[in-house]
Amino acid sequence: MSEVLTVAMPKGRIFEEAVELLRRAGYRLPEEFDDSRKLILDVEEENLRFILAKPMDVPTYVEHGVADIGVAGKDVMIEEERDVYEVLDLKISACYLAVAGLPGYEKKDINPKVASKYPNLAAQYFKEQGEQVEMIKLNGSIELAPLIGLADRIVDIVSTGRTLKENGLVELETIVPITSRLIVNPVSYRMKDEQIDQMVERLSGVVEGEQA
């Protein structure tokens, strides 16, 4: 009997789509996955243990090896720069990162302020653009910052565009498209290669099948 594979799953938005994808790949995940407060869910028949973490923390669990595999947004991967392998684009939870601000915003300030939940990613982006900015890290409701004068611009996720629109903000620049990725701990990939490859194959079969 092979060893148990531990999978770090992001709580929240991505979770439901990831569970659906796993089920389509043939994993029998009990109803408990649809409505539970448990942070550890064991599926003995599949030899899998799922741990439920904050989306931004998933790569940390995988890097430290307490999870062999994880599901993380590309936004989180860019921001966190963890030492893990990104093995598959799951093509779920699609959205994109953009710079936004008040309509008519013109680049004029010395050291303009940029608010974001992704300070590393945003700082890197502006550096590449040759613009020096002051980063302000926020944890949510990012769109509030330019409305209340905390920042000149924001870097945030856009999905439907509704949050920007309803708050009178406009998209100024698109940074990068985002989907969720399957990530793997490098040591686990050596020790449990067969089990991990099998999961990657099953999931990629579903992901690619749906593209066809």
Ligand X SMILES: Nc1ncnc2c1ncn2[C@@H]1O[C@H](COP(=O)(O)OP(=O)(O)OP(=O)(O)O)[C@@H](O)[C@H]1O
| 154 is a site residue for ligand PRP (CB under 6 A) | no
Q: Token pair for residue 79?
A: 């921001």
Q: Shortest Cβ contact with ligand PRP: which residue?
A: 140
| 142 is a site residue for ligand PRP (CB under 6 A) | yes
| Residue 5: DSSP 8-state | E
| 14 is a site residue for ligand X (CB under 6 A) | yes
Interface map 53-92 toward ligand X (x if CB under 6 A): --xx----------------x-xx----------------
Contact predicate 91/28, CB 8 Å: no
| 103 is a site residue for ligand X (CB under 6 A) | no
Alpha-carbon torsion angle 97, 208, 196, 77, nearest 10? -10
Alpha-carbon torsion angle 180, 185, 188, 190, nearest 10? 100
Judged by CB under 6 A, how many residues of this single chain contact ligand PRP? Answer: 12
Contact residue for ligand PRP among 111, 159, 174, 198 (CB under 6 A): 159
Cα separation of 143 and 154, whole Å? 7
Q: Which does 56 bind (CB under 5 to 8 A by kind): ligand X, ligand PRP, none?
A: ligand X
Q: How far is C-alpha 8 from the chain's CA centre?
A: 12
Cα separation of 205 and 210, whole Å? 8
| 14 is a site residue for ligand PRP (CB under 6 A) | no
| 159 is a site residue for ligand X (CB under 6 A) | yes
Judged by CB under 6 A, how many residues of this single chain contact ligand X? Answer: 14
Alpha-carbon torsion angle 85, 88, 92, 95, nearest 10? 60
Q: Which does 93 bind (CB under 5 to 8 A by kind): ligand X, ligand PRP, none?
A: ligand X
Q: Which does 76 bind (CB under 5 to 8 A by kind): ligand PRP, ligand X, none?
A: ligand X
First-to-final CA distance of the chain: 35
**Residues near ligand PRP, by CB under 6 A:** 140-143, 156-163
